[in-house]
Amino acid sequence: MSGRTRFAGLLGHHRTLQALTRALDENRLSPALIFHGPAGVGKLTAAAELARHLLCPSGDGRACGACDSCRRVNPGSLLHPDLGLLYPKRKEDASEKAAGEAPLAAPDLHSIQDEARKNASWRILADPARERLSQLFLSPSMGRRRILLVLAAERLQEESGNALLKVLEEPPPTAVLLLLCENLTALLPTLRSRCQAFRFGTLSREDVARLLISESGLPPAQARVLASLSGGRIGRALALARDAAGYRERRAELSRVLGEAHELGTAAAALSAAAEIQAKDGDTLEDLAILSDLIRDSMLRGCGCPPRLLTDPATASDKTLPAFKPQEAAAHLVRVERAREDLRRYVNRQLALESLFLDLVKSPPGLGSVD
Ligand SMILES: [Zn+2]
């Protein structure tokens, strides 16, 4: 990477990255930062690059890109002694490995993040949190700082959150805490107020399509379709480029499940839809993202929007997808978003899906059965 322009390899987020660059240039970056925004838009890539800039011993807040320190901050294989990592884990894993456990040899940050996403009940447990936080008080071994990167920070257990807050009250002068989360409001207000927050929103379809063409070598027409399906999330777009057939198949399944439940409109149908979605051991948050896309597409199709504006133009002729009235669709979209929140707040998966579908099968109040 060139040492001259920071964040040049990142797509989109111009204003956010400009603000970060300015803070680095003026040496007024807060010791506690939050990068927040939807999954798969580049928060982790930006965090790794920021860590590289901060850790490079060249010392002017700009990674040289060539030294040992810079090479060790690699999201695919992280090997830097001054960059600690904290992320959600299964409860049993914490009791097996007491404080002082050896860190993973060279963790792949994206895999850790994916695994945490798939296991919504995992949390950032107190023992590893205290262990990692204590390392911030040691002198840096390579450069001039120690960084703790916290993935999925909304999953901090109360005890771990308090341990973190305590460090933030009087952080060691060499420490930087970098928290990543999807939803800023899911963090403790006391934690938010002590951090400088940077928002990473979804990207434009054009940006994502451009990346797909350059990274995956897709033909432009196909790249545009996948960019649209991705909802502005690079992570999802790249996953789609690897397995578009798998995504389409799941989307078709969910469209059918939603359609059947809507048509029957009974509690029994709602519960059976929830059970069917749960039976497949997939990523429930991703399933909910697809449900949102389907409801949105149904609404746009109902309003006569041209197929190219739908997340999937093929939806224009999808017979299984119910035709929601605009008001109904709007209420359903809010309801699906609440189910995503529920899952992030550790509501049991079955309960979250069942209560979601019980609401989706009825018309929202005020709509009645007017045609
Ligand atoms: Zn360097």
Mean of the per-residue pLDDT values for the chain? 87
Q: Is 67 left (phi over 0), alpha (psi -120 to 50) or beta?
A: beta
Give the pLDDT of residue 16.
Answer: 94
343 CA distance to ligand 1 centroid (A)?
Answer: 40
Contact of 34 with 40, CB cutoff 8 Å: no
Please say if the pLDDT value at position 1 is more than 60: no
Give the pLDDT of residue 53.
Answer: 93
Q: Please report, as a single letter, which amino acid is at residue 41.
A: V
Give the pLDDT of residue 349.
Answer: 87
What's the predicted TM-score (pTM) here? Answer: 0.78
Please say if the pLDDT value at position 115 is more than 80: yes
24 CA distance to ligand 1 centroid (A)?
Answer: 15
Please say if the pLDDT value at position 124 is more than 80: yes
Which DSSP helix (H) or strand (E) runs through 84? strand 83-86
Write the CB contacts of 69 (distance below 8 Å, at least 6 apart in sequence): 52, 55, 56, 57, 80, 142, 143
Q: Please tell me the distance from the alpha carbon of residue 147 to that of residue 150, in angstroms, as a whole number.
A: 10
Please say if the pLDDT value at position 15 is more than 70: yes
Which of 82-86, 159-163, 341-345 bottoms out in mean pLDDT, i.e. has the lowest? Answer: 341-345
Residue 21 tokens, joined: 């660059």
Give the pLDDT of residue 99.
Answer: 44
Please say if the pLDDT value at position 231 is more than 50: yes
Residue closest to 346 by CA, chosen among 284, 267, 293: 284
Please say if the pLDDT value at position 118 is more than 60: yes
Write the CB contacts of 131 (distance below 8 Å, at least 6 apart in sequence): 99, 100, 101
55 CA distance to ligand 1 centroid (A)?
Answer: 8
Q: Which of 7-16, 96-105, 257-266 reaches the highest mean pLDDT? A: 257-266
Q: Please report, as a single letter, which amino acid is at residue 356.
A: L
Residue closest to 334 by CA, chosen among 291, 277, 283: 291
Which of 185-189, 247-251, 340-344 bottoms out in mean pLDDT, i.e. has the lowest? Answer: 340-344
5 CA distance to ligand 1 centroid (A)?
Answer: 14
231 CA distance to ligand 1 centroid (A)?
Answer: 35
69 CA distance to ligand 1 centroid (A)?
Answer: 6
3 CA distance to ligand 1 centroid (A)?
Answer: 8
Residue closest to 251 by CA, chosen among 236, 269, 268, 265: 236
- CB burial string 282-307: b at 16+ within 10 A, e below: ebbbbbbbbbbbbbbbbbbbeeeeee
Which CATH number among 1.10.287, 1.10.3470, 1.20.272, 2.120.10 corresponds to the domain 243-360? 1.20.272
Reported as a single tens digit per residue, the pLDDT across 46-71 is 999 999 999 999 877 889 989 999 99
115 CA distance to ligand 1 centroid (A)?
Answer: 30
**342-350 mean pLDDT:** 80
At 202, is the secondary structure helix, strand, or coil?
coil
Please say if the pLDDT value at position 178 is more than 60: yes
SS (H, E, C) 254-304: HHHHHHHHHHHCCHHHHHHHHHHHHHCCCCHHHHHHHHHHHHHHHHHHHCC
Reported as a single tens digit per residue, the pLDDT across 17-26 is 999 999 999 9
Which of 166-170, 180-184, 261-265, 344-348 bottoms out in mean pLDDT, i.e. has the lowest? Answer: 344-348
Which of 3-7, 11-15, 188-192, 345-349 bottoms out in mean pLDDT, i.e. has the lowest? Answer: 3-7
105 CA distance to ligand 1 centroid (A)?
Answer: 22
216 CA distance to ligand 1 centroid (A)?
Answer: 29
Give the pLDDT of residue 366.
Answer: 59
100 CA distance to ligand 1 centroid (A)?
Answer: 29
**Sheet (strand 175-181) strand order:** 83-86, 146-150, 175-181, 32-36, 196-199
83 CA distance to ligand 1 centroid (A)?
Answer: 14
2 CA distance to ligand 1 centroid (A)?
Answer: 10
Please say if the pLDDT value at position 94 is more than 50: yes
29 CA distance to ligand 1 centroid (A)?
Answer: 19
What distances in angstroms separate CA 208 from CA 42, 118, 228, 276, one per listed residue?
11, 23, 8, 32
Give the pLDDT of residue 274.
Answer: 95
53 CA distance to ligand 1 centroid (A)?
Answer: 8
Q: How confident is the model at residue 82 (pLDDT cuts 50, 70, 90)?
A: very high
8 CA distance to ligand 1 centroid (A)?
Answer: 16
65 CA distance to ligand 1 centroid (A)?
Answer: 5
Q: Which DSSP string corresponds to 155-200?
A: GB-HHHHHHHHHHHHS--TTEEEEEEES-GGGS-HHHHHTSEEEE-
Please say if the pLDDT value at position 102 is more than 60: no
Q: How confident is the model at residue 174 (pLDDT cuts 50, 70, 90)?
A: very high
Q: Please tell me the distance from the alpha carbon of residue 371 to that of residue 15, in angstroms, as a whole number.
A: 45
Neighbours of 155 (CB within 10 A): 25
62 CA distance to ligand 1 centroid (A)?
Answer: 8
Reported as a single tens digit per residue, the pLDDT across 284-324 is 888 998 999 999 999 888 888 888 788 887 888 888 888 88
**175-185 mean pLDDT:** 93
The highest-level CATH class for domain 14-199 is alpha beta
